[in-house]
Structure 1
Amino acid sequence: MYTAILLMIVICLEAYFVSSIRNEQMEQSTSNVRIAEMEASNYIQQLYSNAGNIEYSAYQVEDIQWFLEDSLEVYLKKKIDNYTKSMSIRYYGIDNFVSNLLESETRLESISFLSNANQRLSSYMRDGKTKTTYFESWEFHTIPNKLFRMGQLVVSKNFYDQNGNRNSIGSLIMNYNLNQLSDIAKKYENIEIAVFNSDRRLLFATGDENRLREILNEDGDVTKTTHWEDYLKSYIELNPVSDCWIIAYIPKNLAASIQNLWWITLILIGIALFAMGELFVHLYLKKLTDRLYVILEAMSSASKGKLDVHIDIPNNKSLDELDIIAENFNQMCQDMDAYIQKSYLAEIEQRNAELCALQSQINPHFLYNTLEVIRMKAICNGDREVGRMLYSLAVIFRSQIKEADIITIAKELHYCKKYLELFEYRYHNKFSFEINCPEVLMEKPVIKFVVQPIIENYFVHGIRLEATDNLLMISVYQQGKDIVIYVSDNGKGMTEEEVQRKNEQLKSGKRETGSIGIQNVHTRMRAAYGDAYGVSLKRNEPGGICVMLRFPGEENKNV
């Protein structure tokens, strides 16, 4: 039942999303059609404006008027005479005018000059070719149509005599390509653009040309609504600027279509919503089941005698039936456990006391004496290296059970030496150490075992097991009234941030995990000598760590 309800909700949401996206797509497509139509009309108007500029420029070239007025023989004679009289080495005539024009205006495919008097049409092409054609007078009105090319706009401008009578002596006919309209259409998905002249002749189309020609053949009116019932369209007539109609259109089924990416997104959203809903229902039911299992498990544990079992009850919500059961169960277990504690606590404490007494009977001297017996046996058997190792271990063990809390620096360094010798055996040919201390400082007092934990920390965290040049140096110096023991190594080291964080931790007295030995030494030294003394760290260059132990050079009677 839960799954069916959840599925219906997801289907309703998906239907709402699809409807919203379709409406938004339709509005966007309508806007795009209008924008495309306006951009196309602006482009056509630019072409007509450009044609007007070319017409104006042509009037500035007297050679063009001669070319249109006279026969070619007379024109050439005037051209030669004019060039002879001029002081310029270059003659600027119709050829230069056309060459410069085609070079500067890339949209212009050709320009033609129609001479009324000579019934002559001279065409200059972009590829450099020229063509001269003669017509009968009755054919003049058909000449622009003869120059028609699909995908081109033909703009014709009358050329008037500039000598005063203002009679038309010919025409300038310019053929512009309309390729940029394709670029405009490509900017807007699925939108097509078509251009017609005043005779409803198709000049340019990005869409189905046959469909547009069928409309023209039916009644000649491409703007009639009945032709565009299945389309969103926008059209404009550019009169009086030009004699063109521009139509931008898009099929309605494409205008409201949803892209595949949107379908995939909607499907994924639906699946995600359904999965999240199913997960929520599953988790809710599982939560109830788990709470019931917790209560049953606690009851099972209590039945086996484990009365310290406790069922957690949240405090930030109202209690339901399961919470009430759990609360009463917890109280019952507490009451039963209290009763049992009263009956058997005394007996348990007695047994613990007997166990502690038994453990304390082990004499630590027995362990030391046993080590000495083993060492002597090893020496008798000729194994002096094992004997030396046992001796070092025995010295360390004896220092723990026999020495006072305050010893000399000499003894502290002696114990350290024996401790390091054990590791020298362990890391043979991989580890070495040096101990340096002035003679005058040997008998200075120090609390016991402040250096050994630092050494141990090096072997736990700092030694490079893959290297053979591991070195640990212990040096003792007098600094004013204080003595400083430097324990430095060339091990793995720490970053500057880690060293700074460790020093701040030691200053604040906070205890954190890691390097517990250093923390304990620092705490003991501060307790014995005061807050001005203790442990600090700094980095070695190029690698490793230097641990500094500072304590007063004179014996502190309070220690």
Structure 2
Amino acid sequence: MKKHSSKQLYFRMFWGYTTIVFLVVSALVIYFLSVAGGKALKANTDARDQVCRDARDYLEETGQQADYVYKALYGSKRELDDLIAYFQLDKEEYQKYCLDKYMSTDELEYQNIYDFVNEVFSASSELKKIELISYATMEMTQCYPQKVFYPGKDGKKRIEELEQEQSRKKGELVYLKEIRNPDTLQQEGCMILTFDAKETLEKIQDSNPYVMLAVASQNDQEIYVGKKAGNWKENIRQRGYDVIQDSVDEYVVYSYVNKKEAADLSGTTFLAIMGMGFLAIAVGVVSISCYVRKFTARVETILDAMNRVKTGNLKDRIQVDRVRDELDMIAGNFNEMCGRLELYIQKSYLAEIETKNAQMQALQSQINPHFLYNTLEAIRMKAICNGDREVGKMLYSMVVLFRSQLKEADIITLGQELDYCKQYMELFEYRYQGCFLSQVECPVELLALPVPKFILQPVVENYFIHGIERDRKDNQLFIYAEKKDGQLCIYVKDNGCGMDEEEIRRKNKELRENCYGEEQKKSIGIGNVNRRIRAIYGEPYGISIEKADPKGLIVILTIKTEEE
């Protein structure tokens, strides 16, 4: 039954703790996945912002390049005059104008508008073409790198296309700059600069796989749409997309991410979190198994000890670990319970047995108390009638002693015990009249303390049997009591013949070990009193013997101070 119950306890605890560990680890895994997803979304959102800034900076850069070309043209009066002449004159007149300008200067070469355009292409690698349109003739000249020029194109159609934003090719950034005559402030024509932005915008777009980029005009005319952008006009209006936009001149940059896709974890991160979760569960299950096995083993130890106590073995004790948990508390209380039960049995049964044995030994070794009591009482009355009062006092003391032996309880007060002892010593004062004196001292507050009956009389009797020296006139016996370290100590001091050091050590050893010979067990002397005290109060208490100064012995009775 014990093994079956401990096995059930093991499985209940194991599966209970395992379930808790599984739930806790699962919650932690979900939490870490959520945190990692949030961090991934934050990182991708930051990347979206960076893509938007990079695209805006690039558009600003191309616009600044267009402004730089325009300012450079107005910074050179000769080239600006040449361009205005190119707009106003026909081909032959313009060539004559150029020849006249060349002849009027000392320079070896004449820098016309074509040379200026070639220098602009050399300065900007992303500049795809420059278109020059004359408002006077509405003719357009297309200029390309490597000194490629196509004059005679339809400028009016080109301007109309730009106004309708229909001819703009994807990936091209177009900037139109009006050319005014600085003298008359009349618009002579315009210069259209076209930049090839597709490659650069693709690099910006490819910097993050989750970010989508779109560039459009203010009228939502597509300029650039990334490969992953899809239908950008619909996407930027949906809730599932996180969109940021920025405007640069006539262009608008849209940068956005799909929230769900941006929050997705990489396969490595997902597997790492799941792997840590499975590892934590495995370690937890192994730790729980070891802990529960140890716990159930401790429970089995307690059950085994309880079964041994059932058989009457109260000396069995459970080893208390240093864990200081509930099982240690149970083990400690179990040990304390066994100790108290054992002490209770000693007090309730062994003390009673010892007392009865002492009484039986006293009855067997002495005259029948009832017969002696009645006889002494008759003799005392006869002595009083004959006028012999000293004999009457002696007989009265003996009558009191026999009455206390017959009628008093086993536990009396210290005051009663001292009073009986005084009555006993008075008998010997009459017997050894003139050569023996006794004295008893005790603080008033100790008189009511309970003590076993007849613990002093055997000690005093032992003195009269073995210690008194009858040829001396100064024999003394002094009894006093004190409370010391929570214990009641009663001292019986005499100046008799005493014992040598070796005998005192041997006697104290017998008293401590509570072992005596058969003849000593039958007596009612010090050994009997020591057994009774130890049976009632336990091992720390009892009788010890010391050598008195200058001679004699001191018998010390140590008793537990109890109010009841």
- How would you bin the TM-score normalised by the shorter chain? 0.3 to 0.5
- Which structure would you say has the larger RCO, counting Cα contacts within 8 Å and 6 or more residues apart? 2
Normalising by the residue count of structure 2, what TM-score does the alignment of the two structures yield? 0.47
Normalising by the residue count of structure 1, what TM-score does the alignment of the two structures yield? 0.48
Higher Cα Rg, which structure: 2
